[in-house]
Amino acid sequence: MTTVVEQGLFYLSALLAIAGALGTVASKSAIRAAMSLLVAIFGITGLYVTLSAQLLAAIQVMVYAGAVVVLFVFVIMLLGGQPDVKSDNRSLKARAVGVGLFALSAIVAAVLVARAGIGGPHIFDAPRPEFGSVAALGKVMFTDGVVAFELVGVLLTAAIVGVMAVARTRNVKAAAKDKEVTQ
Partner 1 sequence: MTSIPLEFYLIVAAVIFVIGACGFLARRNALIALMSIELMLNAVNLTLVGFNRWYGDHHVGQMFAFFIIAVAAAEAAVGLAIVVALFRLKRTVRTDSVDLLKY
Site for partner 1 contains 39 (CB under 8 A): no
Q: What is the DSSP string of 117-164?
A: ---S--PPPPPPTTTT-HHHHHHHHTTTTHHHHHHHHHHHHHHHHHHH
Site for partner 1 contains 167 (CB under 8 A): yes
Residue 70 CB, shortest distance to partner 1, in Å, is: 10
Site for partner 1 contains 35 (CB under 8 A): no
Site for partner 1 contains 116 (CB under 8 A): no
Residue 126 CB, shortest distance to partner 1, in Å, is: 6
Site for partner 1 contains 75 (CB under 8 A): yes
Site for partner 1 contains 102 (CB under 8 A): yes
Kindly list the distances between the CA atom of residue 89 and the CA atoms of 61, 97, 99, in Å, as whole numbers in the listed order: 38, 15, 16
Site for partner 1 contains 16 (CB under 8 A): no
Site for partner 1 contains 94 (CB under 8 A): no
Site for partner 1 in 131-160 (CB under 8 A): 131-132, 136-137, 139-141, 144-145, 148-149, 152, 155-156, 158-160
Supply the DSSP symbol for 167: H
Whether the Cβ atoms of residue 42 and residue 16 lie closer than 8 Å to each other = yes
